[in-house]
Structure 1
């Protein structure tokens, strides 16, 4: 009986010790852009004077006010899918980096997208079925959120 209990405890511990793989290119979420500013329909670069850490991830902000708003309610501002491209998560079940100036606020949540080399995945997202893509991305994210990006 004791080996079984030990095995269950080890399994439970490993489940709780897993952390989400966030896209922290340049050492910060959203490539160092201010995640609060997106909710004002602006993509603003963060300033090194205004930073904080939440869930092991560093964030930059364009102002002290935005930093304080984030600290009061970080879950409101954290990008979906760890800050990886929402379209790639939905379509390819793959973590792809983003262009921090390509974003969408939908149902009070922040989605970031890849936009380079003639491929604007935000346009693709909007031209296809955003609701269906969001549902697929939500489902796919559950299977890959703990896997580190290659």
Structure 2
């Protein structure tokens, strides 16, 4: 009686074989089979299968035994700089999209990424700016997650180092979700950008340590962004005097009371005073954050970030209405 192998088992077996082929002797050939050592010396030489070495998920071919030996002795010198796209580090690199820059090999995930790097390589080696996001019990989840996603994705993930900061260690809950902050007030690094989410702001407003920290970090930051009722923290710290500001439409009167020396605007997504940017409720924090990215990285940087997030910006937020 013939034996039948279930189709699912066949597929699973093939997948396992393919996954295994990505490493070891059957790793994917990189650089179109060109000799990496020769490329870094300014020449294009085809490699041969008999002279090959594996590094990560790629197999490198060499023109001769000498080049293979040099590679094996110092793979960090001759191999590509990782197996992710140089421009979009979350994207796996295409092994055939490469570029030699200042004596190193870089890989890219798409022709667009390669073209972007060639146009301005220095932009991808700039030090990251620190983005500190205050977290506290009862904050609005999207007030935190929206800006955190924007700054994490900006510049292909290379422009900003995003971290959460709380008054004390331990999990913080937001809408039933709990997560642990990266830092507390005592060990938080310098913040180039400070983000203050809204939500149950009565909790941090009642804690003098939070208000003092906001005042201190705002002083050292290049830009301060509040989302929703996070503007009340700026008001409590005396940082909105003489400025224009906005908040969630349900909290406009509360902001007027908390900041009598501030012109409170309604019907806008965000207000930019230069150093201080305040935004309306919840999703408006994404618009304000993209606006800050546009200020720091340029219109194209903001557009690419919004495109990656599949977020549609309106004409009033620096985008179009398509």
Normalising by structure 2, we get a TM-score of 0.28
Superposed CA deviations along residues 121-149 of structure 1, whole A, max 9, x for unmatched, are 43321223x22223456849xxxxxxxxx
Task: State the partner residue of 1:134.
Answer: 125
Corresponding position of 1:66: 67
State whether residues 124 and 158 of structure 2, in contact with CA within 8 Å, keep that contact through their aligned partners in structure 1. Answer: no
Separation (CA, whole Å) in 2 of partners of 1:138 and 1:64: 38
Q: Is the 8 A contact 1:48 1:60 kept in 2?
A: yes
Aligned residues: 109
CA distance in 2 between partners of 1:138 and 1:35 (Å): 27
* Structure (1 or 2) with the greater helix fraction: 1
Structure 2 residue runs of 5 or longer lacking an equivalent are: 1-21, 127-154, 160-322
Per the TM alignment, residue 48 of structure 1 is displaced from its structure 2 partner at its CA by 1.0
Aligned match for 1:111, one of 93, 106, 114:
106
**Structure 1 spans left out of the alignment, 5+ residues:** 1-20, 141-150
Match of residue 122 from structure 1:
114
Shift of the 138–37 alpha-carbon distance from structure 1 to 2, 3 Å rule, reads farther
Q: Normalising by structure 1, what TM-score? A: 0.53
The alignment yields a C-alpha RMSD, in angstroms, of: 3.6
Q: 1:17-96 counterparts in 2 under 5 A?
A: 27-54=28-55, 57-82=58-83, 84-89=84-89, 93-96=90-93
C-alpha contact 1:70 1:77 (8 A) present in aligned 2: yes
Structure 1 residues 99-142: Cα deviation after superposition (integer angstroms, max 9, x where no partner): 35x41222x32113466xxx4543321223x22223456849xx
